[in-house]
Amino acid sequence: EAQVTQNPRYLITVTGKKLTVTCSQNMNHEYMSWYRQDPGLGLRQIYYSMNVEVTDKGDVPEGYKVSRKEKRNFPLILESPSPNQTSLYFCASWEIMSSTEAFFGQGTRLTVV
């Protein structure tokens, strides 16, 4: 079954405590991306990766890091989380061609207190 798996689904943490949200896909997609979803702001892209060792900033990259050491994995790292990073996060992957379907993980609801 085609799948994008994120962990954890829910996370409550304190300001400044480093955390990692994992993302893995089983479809051999080259392209992976992280989004955050906030009320009234919709889905906004944080970072994306076109292939192993190739990553780039999206629209809202401040406070986040990513890495792409293997094709299937694309973790999102918050080195020093702050309350304004409280959000719903989604990982997605798709083939790099037009009109292709994007597959999303189930989301990670992060609360930073």
Partner 1 sequence: TQLLEQSPQFLSIQEGENLTVYCNSSSVFSSLQWYRQEPGEGPVLLVTVVTGGEVKKLKRLTFQFGDARKDSSLHITAAQTGDTGLYLCADQAGTALIFGKGTTLSVSS
* Residues near partner 1, by CB under 8 A: 4, 31, 33, 40-43, 45, 48, 50, 90, 92, 94, 96-102, 104-107
Nearer Cβ to partner 1, position 65 or 104? 104
Please say which residue, 74 or 94, places its beta carbon nearer to partner 1: 94
Transcribe 44-100 into DSSP letters: EEEEEEEETTEEEE-S--TT-EE--SSTTB--EEESS--GGG-EEEEEEEE-SSTTP
Nearest-approach distance from CB 15 to partner 1, in angstroms: 26
Smallest distance, partner 1 to C-beta of residue 85, A = 19
Instruction: Report, in Å, the least distance between residue 106 CB and partner 1.
Output: 6
For residues 29-54, b (16+ Cβ closer than 10 Å) or e, as one string?
bebbbbbbeeeeeeeeebbbbeeeee
Q: Which is nearer to partner 1, 4 or 112 (CB)?
A: 4
